[in-house]
């Protein structure tokens, strides 16, 4: 481009014609200049902007970056208030950035009104004081300040100060502001900003970054965020139907209902179909009465059949907690056949792949055997010849009975039967833990993790 005051060309291979850098230049790690030191964004806001002669021509209102999903984004320019107008100054026209002072290379400013460009983010307006996701620790943090580090081409965003003390830099006069607390600074590469509120943002939250987290961690992020931020996270994982269902299973009931209510009936049905049947049945029951049947009717016949079986039981009984999907073989099957049944099963939750249930031809339960025991025995042995666990509970058993039975027999899965002894499903240890953990424990965990 040309200098807006001198008309001299100022382009390089990493710039657009207006002086704003290409997104591909944002991945380079900053090379710290010996003549510069890192800055905090709050040290620069409302600083006087001076021309080469030292005359004030405006005040710095914001700094502009372009996010591309990775690396340290370069500062492409600043927004300067001149009287009642706001103008853009390219980073190439900035001679010096320092606490309380911005010095330009040009004598005059381009008087054209500032306009956001596609993909641009304003650090003060769009990021500062807002939530971010700490992807390294799976938690929500607040950006009380942002770290700018110098490199050979200018400045890049390299860190986030999440300490509440950083707020003082916005409230206390410049001379009395505290220094940067290094231990509270997160590397920018470890955080993910929310951008749905940015009018020109074209960048979607990267699904690949979220996939690195456990569904429970993603659920914690959703629960710790605002409703709009939570929707942005769920929108990011929407293309992965299985991950979306896993995240919904991990959400607390309040948030499950909150986000399900904001979905169309078709969207809600798709999510419920992918969830574990016992969790889906519980969540369907939490929906408003007028929506339950329309959502249920949009589910597949297979999913409807499973939910009908579960909805006849109270949620706090073994029947309400059980999964109707499990691995089973009939009397006469060998250990090798039982292991093959585990290998090919694609319905049972992974917690139930550690147990194989053995039944008579008519469905009556004989007992269960662990996958580990099957691996240790001769593949030709018949399953009924092995040492089977014969304990079970009736479908109406309450949480206390289920918990004590599993504890007494050291089980990770417990068979649920009807009055005739027919196998109906199985309760897993994680279902029991979910049911008996006190709410105050959850609150303590949230407080300790910052979510």
306 shares a domain with 334: no
pTM as predicted: 0.75
In a domain, 12, yes or no: no
Q: If pLDDT is split at 50, 70 and 90, which confidence band does 22 have?
A: very low
**Whole-angstrom Cα distance, residue 238 to residue 204?**
12
34 shares a domain with 164: yes
To the nearest whole percent, how much of the chain has pLDDT over 70? 84
409 pLDDT more than 70 = yes
Residue 233 pLDDT: 94
Domain stops at, among 251, 282, 312: 312
What is the sign, positive or negative, of the torsion defined by CA atoms of 25, 31, 32, 35? negative
Residue 3 pLDDT: 43
Model confidence pLDDT, tens digit, residues 133-148: 999 988 999 999 999 9
In a domain, 244, yes or no: yes
Instruction: Map residue 86 onto helix, strand or coil.
Output: strand
369 shares a domain with 230: no
189 shares a domain with 212: no
161 shares a domain with 230: no
Residue 125 pLDDT: 94
247 or 441: which carries more pLDDT confidence?
Answer: 247
Instruction: Tell me how far CA of residue 313 lies from CA of 122, 163, 363, in angstroms.
Output: 53, 48, 20
172 pLDDT more than 60 = no
Across 302-313, average pLDDT: 94
424 or 21: which carries more pLDDT confidence?
Answer: 424
In a domain, 105, yes or no: yes
Model confidence pLDDT, tens digit, residues 224-258: 999 999 999 999 999 898 899 999 999 998 999 99
114 shares a domain with 216: no
Instruction: Map residue 131 onto helix, strand or coil.
Output: strand
In a domain, 228, yes or no: yes
Query: What is the CATH number for 301?
Result: 1.25.60.10
Model confidence pLDDT, tens digit, residues 188-207: 999 999 988 887 665 567 88
170 shares a domain with 34: yes
In a domain, 7, yes or no: no
DSSP 177: P
CA nearest to 209, candidates 218, 199, 201? 218
174 shares a domain with 215: no
Q: Where are the alpha helices (DSSP H) in 172-299?
A: 207-211, 215-224, 227-237, 241-250, 253-261, 265-274, 277-286, 289-297
The owner of tokens 């706001």 is 86
406 shares a domain with 269: no
CA nearest to 58, candidates 102, 97, 8? 102
Domain stops at, among 159, 193, 227: 193
In a domain, 344, yes or no: yes
Domain stops at, among 254, 279, 312: 312
Tell me the two tokens of residue 53: 């002669």
Residue 56 pLDDT: 94
**Whole-angstrom Cα distance, residue 78 to residue 89?**
5
Model confidence pLDDT, tens digit, residues 340-376: 999 999 999 999 999 999 999 999 999 999 999 999 9
32 pLDDT more than 60 = no
Instruction: Map residue 167 onto helix, strand or coil.
Output: helix
* 344 Cβ contact list (under 8 Å, min separation 6): none
Q: How many CB atoms lie within 10 A of CB 384?
A: 16
180 shares a domain with 121: yes
111 pLDDT more than 80 = no
Query: What is the CATH number for 423?
Result: 3.10.580.10
Number of domains in the chain: 3
Q: What range defines the domain where residue 393 resides?
A: 328-435
In a domain, 189, yes or no: yes
25 pLDDT more than 90 = no
Q: How many CB atoms lie within 10 A of CB 102?
A: 22
In a domain, 163, yes or no: yes
Backbone angles phi, psi at 373, to 5 degrees: -65, -35
What is the sign, positive or negative, of the torsion defined by CA atoms of 129, 148, 171, 180? positive
154 shares a domain with 105: yes
41 shares a domain with 148: yes
Query: What is the CATH number for 90?
Result: 2.30.30.240
């Amino acid at each position: 481009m040309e200098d807006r005051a001198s008309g001299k060309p100022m382009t390089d291979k990493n710039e657009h014609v207006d002086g704003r850098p290409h997104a591909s230049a944002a991945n380079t790690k900053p090379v710290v200049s010996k003549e510069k030191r890192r800055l905090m964004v709050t040290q620069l806001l409302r600083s006087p902007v001076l021309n080469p002669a030292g005359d004030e021509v405006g005040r710095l209102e914001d700094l502009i970056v372009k996010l591309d999903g990775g690396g340290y984004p370069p500062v492409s320019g600043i927004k300067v208030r001149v009287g009642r107008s706001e103008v853009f100054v390219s980073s190439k026209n900035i001679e010096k950035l320092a606490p309380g002072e911005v010095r330009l290379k040009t004598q005059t400013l381009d008087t054209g009104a500032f306009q956001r460009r596609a993909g641009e983010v304003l650090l003060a307006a769009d990021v500062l004081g807002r939530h971010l996701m700490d992807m390294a620790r799976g938690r929500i943090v607040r950006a009380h300040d942002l770290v700018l580090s110098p490199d050979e081409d200018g400045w890049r965003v390299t860190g986030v100060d999440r300490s509440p003390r950083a707020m003082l830099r916005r409230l206390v006069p410049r001379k009395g502001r505290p220094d940067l607390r290094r231990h509270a600074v997160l590397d920018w590469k470890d955080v993910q900003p929310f951008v749905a509120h940015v009018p020109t943002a074209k960048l979607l939250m990267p699904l690949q970054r979220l996939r690195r987290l456990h569904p429970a961690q993603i659920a914690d992020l959703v629960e710790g965020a605002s409703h709009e931020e939570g929707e942005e996270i769920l929108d990011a994982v929407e293309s992965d139907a299985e991950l979306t269902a896993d995240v919904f299973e991990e959400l607390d009931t309040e948030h499950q209902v909150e986000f399900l209510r904001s979905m169309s009936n078709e969207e809600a049905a798709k999510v419920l179909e992918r969830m574990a049947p016992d969790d889906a049945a519980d969540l369907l029951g939490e929906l408003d009465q007028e929506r339950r049947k329309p959502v249920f009717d949009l589910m597949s016949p297979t999913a409807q059949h499973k939910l009908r079986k579960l909805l006849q039981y109270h949620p706090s009984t073994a029947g309400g907690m059980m999964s109707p999907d499990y691995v089973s073989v009939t009397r006469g099957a060998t250990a090798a056949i039982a292991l093959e049944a585990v290998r090919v099963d694609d319905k049972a939750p992974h917690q139930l792949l550690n147990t194989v249930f053995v039944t008579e031809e008519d469905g009556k339960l004989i007992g269960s055997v662990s996958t580990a025991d099957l691996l240790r025995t001769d593949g030709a042995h018949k399953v009924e010849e092995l040492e089977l666990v014969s304990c079970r509970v009736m479908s109406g058993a309450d949480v206390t009975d289920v918990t004590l039975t599993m504890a007494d027999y050291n089980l990770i899965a417990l068979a649920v039967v009807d009055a005739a002894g027919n196998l109906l499903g199985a309760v897993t240890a994680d279902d029991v833990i979910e049911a008996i953990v006190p709410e105050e424990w959850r609150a303590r965990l949230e407080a300790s993790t910052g979510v």
